[in-house]
Structure 1
Amino acid sequence: MELFDVYPLYDITPVSAKGLILTDDQGVEYLDLYGGHAVISIGHGHPHYVSRIKEQLDRIAFYSNAVQNPLQQQLMEKLGYLSGCDEYRLFLCNSGAEANENALKLASFHTGRSRVIAFHNSFHGRTSAAVATTDNPGINAPINRQQQVTFLPFEDATALEAEMAKGDVCAVILEAIQGVGGLDEPSTAFYREISRLCREHDVVLIADEVQSGFGRSGKFFAFQHHGIEPDIISMAKGMGNGFPVGGILIHPKFKASHGLLGTTFGGNHLACAATLAVLEVLEKEQLMKNAEELGSYFAACAARIPEVKRVKGRGLMLGLEFGFEVASLRKRLITKQHIFTGSAKDKSVLRILPALNVSKDHLDQFFNALKRELA
């Protein structure tokens, strides 16, 4: 048997990890400033995280949602408190794509409509309706293209209002900071206009916080920088620090019924233990504050590099835009400087998504290495 060849792979085999350092099978250490697509939120092998999961394994690792699971209640309360979204309801699943699938499904149930508005350069997942709302024809199969999706540019309020007025839109879905697309953001004025139009036309506003949530932007959710209230919030990547977890927060105006949504693995005991550990570390170590402060430090360092056209993003969801395609630079940073960074749909953007407990020393190491490679 062979693996289905869908991933271009670097010839690196990590065998251990601690904090922001990966060690490969040759004993070479790498600074991880990408976190496996923003998944590693509190660092590799954080002792509290490891302890939480080990203790849970000794008790019970899994049972279905047919029984009581007090860890879900603990998670709900902690998440509501730290996020400031305690009036919402929580549904747990396994991934960002699944979170967005459930958000879109719930929006369609709620409105009785099926068309969705998404935005250019969006990425919402690789399954069914989630991939249909992703602005990448190359990963949309014919079966996905049956979905009714309209893509619009950010800041075009006239086009948005015209589409809403047609009366067939069930949801607007957007990332407050685009991840794969390249760190573009809607303005506060435009995000607020989206919110206003959704209320006016009874359209569900879905905030995709899969990558930007759980403190990465410097606030718990990135939409909170804009002072709006979404109807549904999707989340995943940083929730479990590597354990597969996803979920949606649902405004109380939505009515639940048995069987409306469902999942086999979502909200299992280990997933809850992993997410509780992340929330506890975020709070105890004040990692949202660190994300905000280190984001500012990163921007100040980047401003001293002439080749950097601009810094994109917020907190520790960042991109460096250059006047050239960065694939070769990214490869050199990995193979010569032993630093992991990321790419984007915008080929001129280098993505930086470290664990939220990254330090100034880590960022200094990166910028010194970047200067060497640019030279």
Structure 2
Amino acid sequence: MNLFNVYPLFDIEIAKGIGCRTYDNHGIEYLDLYGGHAVISVGHSHPYYVQKLTHQIENLVFYSNSVINKLQVELAEKLGKMSGYEDYSLFLINSGAEANENALKLASFHTGRRKVIAFDKSFHGRTSAAVRVTDNPKIVAPINEGFEVDFLPLNDIEAVRKSLSKGDVCAVIIEGVQGVGGIRTPENKFLQELSEACKAAGTVLILDEVQSGYGRSGKFFAHQHAGIRPDLITVAKGMGNGFPIGGVLISPMFEASHGMLGTTFGGSHLACTAAIAVLDIIKVEHLVENAEKIGNYLIEELSKIHQIKEIRGLGLMIGIEFEQPVKEIRNRLLFEKKIFTGASGTNTIRLLPPLCLSKSDADIFLTSFKEILQSV
């Protein structure tokens, strides 16, 4: 049997990782400025993380969600305190796509509506069809019977207000920072006005923090730069530092009933252990603050490079846009300088390093980047 190809592959096999470094099967070292799509939040093979997971594996990896799992409670309490959402509840699943699907489902149950507002260049996951073939009124929300999506320009509040005025929108879903869309950030004023408009229309505001959350922006969640409190917040990626886990933070305004949401693997003992370890490391090592500090430094230094068209981002979520395609730049960074970077579209390099990135590692990237640009 052959693998179904998901991405075009670099001819590199990564066999090991430590901190912000990865090593291929030949022992060659690479500086990791992509973190496996923003997944590696506290660094590869962090000793505390490894210790906690090893201990849990020796005891219990998984059991059913029909029995008490104190690790789920501990995770919810720690996440609530660190994020500032202690009064919200936490639904645990396995991925960002699941988190967004369940958030949309909750919004539709809550409002009885089917229409959704999203934004140009948004990305919220790859799943959608499973519940459409499920014949069970307890889990098939109105949105699943067929729904309309209005794709509106980011930061255009008047377009949002016009769509909301019809009274048929169950949810607005927006990323804290658009990742795949090119590291495009909603303006603080826009988010504030969006929050108020949703409240006035009885529409649920969903903040997709799957990529931009967990300290990456220099605050625990990117939307906190705007000082708003969404109704639902979706998380994944950096939540488990490589172990698959996702979640939905749910406002107290939602009334849940048994069977409305469910999961087999979500919130397993091992997944919760990984997520708790991540929160412990983020707190003890001040990684949110580090993301802000090193991110600001990178953006400041990158702004001095005249070949760059535009620099966008918050914290350690940075987009570097050029007039021309960036494929050659990325390839030369990888194969000549041994530095992993990502991309958004054709012309934008995307930096999503572990939150423990040091200034010296940032300088290694900046020096290598400038050398590559001089010869492109």
TM-score, normalisation: structure 2: 0.94
Matched, 1:125 2:111: no
Q: Hey, what does 2:114 align to over in structure 1?
A: 114
User: Are 1:129 and 1:147, in contact at CA under 8 Å, matched by a contact in 2?
Assistant: no
Q: 3-state SS of the aligned residue for 2:108? A: helix
Instruction: State the distance in 2 between where 1:296 and 1:335 align.
Output: 27
Instruction: State the distance in 1 between where 2:318 and 2:155 align.
Output: 21
Q: Hey, what does 2:366 align to over in structure 1?
A: 367
Q: Hey, what does 1:134 align to over in structure 2?
A: none
Letter in 2 for 1:330: R
Q: Hey, what does 2:40 align to over in structure 1?
A: 40
Letter in 2 for 1:340: F
User: Are 2:176 and 2:213, in contact at CA under 8 Å, matched by a contact in 1?
Assistant: no
1:189-231 C-alpha deviation (Å, 9 max, x unpaired) = 1111111110011000000000011100010000000011100
How far apart are residue 64 of structure 1 and its match?
A: 1.4
How far apart are residue 6 of structure 1 and its match?
A: 2.8
Instruction: State the distance in 1 between where 2:311 and 2:129 align.
Output: 32
User: Are 1:333 and 1:340, in contact at CA under 8 Å, matched by a contact in 2?
Assistant: yes
Matched, 1:157 2:157: yes
Instruction: State the distance in 2 between where 1:7 and 1:145 align.
Output: 32
Equivalence map 1:276-291=2 (5 Å): 276-291=276-291
Instruction: State the distance in 1 between where 2:191 and 2:228 align.
Output: 8
Letter in 2 for 1:252: P
Letter in 2 for 1:109: F
How far apart are residue 303 of structure 1 and its match?
A: 2.2
How far apart are residue 323 of structure 1 and its match?
A: 2.0
How far apart are residue 310 of structure 1 and its match?
A: 2.6
Letter in 1 for 2:353: P
The 3 A distance-change label for structure 1 pair 129 and 2 is closer
1:81-117 C-alpha deviation (Å, 9 max, x unpaired) = 1001111110000000000000000000000001100
How far apart are residue 129 of structure 1 and its match?
A: 7.4
Q: Quick one: percent identity of the two aligned structures? A: 56
User: Are 1:298 and 1:363, in contact at CA under 8 Å, matched by a contact in 2?
Assistant: yes
1:215-248 C-alpha deviation (Å, 9 max, x unpaired) = 0001000000001110000000000000000000
The 3 A distance-change label for structure 1 pair 297 and 238 is same
Q: Hey, what does 1:185 align to over in structure 2?
A: 185
Q: Hey, what does 2:212 align to over in structure 1?
A: 212
Q: Hey, what does 1:225 align to over in structure 2?
A: 225
User: Are 2:299 and 2:318, in contact at CA under 8 Å, matched by a contact in 1?
Assistant: no
Instruction: State the distance in 1 between where 2:40 and 2:291 align.
Output: 13
Instruction: State the distance in 1 between where 2:145 and 2:334 align.
Output: 37
User: Are 2:173 and 2:206, in contact at CA under 8 Å, matched by a contact in 1?
Assistant: yes
The 3 A distance-change label for structure 1 pair 108 and 146 is closer
Q: Hey, what does 1:141 align to over in structure 2?
A: none
Q: 3-state SS of the aligned residue for 2:77? A: helix
How far apart are residue 145 of structure 1 and its match?
A: 12
Q: How many residues align?
A: 361
1:285-334 C-alpha deviation (Å, 9 max, x unpaired) = 00001011001110121122111223211000111122211111111111
Q: Hey, what does 1:357 align to over in structure 2?
A: 356
Letter in 2 for 1:2: N
User: Are 1:107 and 1:170, in contact at CA under 8 Å, matched by a contact in 2?
Assistant: yes
Instruction: State the distance in 2 between where 1:145 and 1:307 align.
Output: 49
1:259-297 C-alpha deviation (Å, 9 max, x unpaired) = 010000000000000000000000000000101100111
Q: Hey, what does 2:14 align to over in structure 1?
A: 14
Q: Hey, what does 1:133 align to over in structure 2?
A: none
Q: 3-state SS of the aligned residue for 1:85? A: coil
Instruction: State the distance in 2 between where 1:83 and 1:156 align.
Output: 28
TM-score, normalisation: structure 1: 0.94
Q: Hey, what does 1:2 align to over in structure 2?
A: 2
Q: 3-state SS of the aligned residue for 1:318? A: strand
Q: 3-state SS of the aligned residue for 1:343? A: strand
How far apart are residue 155 of structure 1 and its match?
A: 2.4
Instruction: State the distance in 2 between where 1:122 and 1:303 align.
Output: 25
1:21-45 C-alpha deviation (Å, 9 max, x unpaired) = 1111122111100000000000000
Instruction: State the distance in 2 between where 1:93 and 1:129 align.
Output: 17
Instruction: State the distance in 1 between where 2:314 and 2:46 align.
Output: 24
Q: 3-state SS of the aligned residue for 2:305? A: coil
Q: 3-state SS of the aligned residue for 2:318? A: strand
> Following superposition, which runs of at least 4 residues in structure 1 exceed 2 angstroms of deviation?
144-147
How far apart are residue 184 of structure 1 and its match?
A: 0.7
Q: 3-state SS of the aligned residue for 2:16? A: strand
The 3 A distance-change label for structure 1 pair 145 and 26 is farther
Letter in 2 for 1:164: L
The 3 A distance-change label for structure 1 pair 148 and 279 is same
Letter in 1 for 2:350: R
Q: 3-state SS of the aligned residue for 1:252? A: coil
User: Are 2:114 and 2:146, in contact at CA under 8 Å, matched by a contact in 1?
Assistant: no
Letter in 1 for 2:319: G
User: Are 1:96 and 1:234, in contact at CA under 8 Å, matched by a contact in 2?
Assistant: yes
Matched, 1:269 2:281: no
Instruction: State the distance in 2 between where 1:158 and 1:297 align.
Output: 35
Q: Which runs of 5+ in 2 are unaligned?
A: 131-143
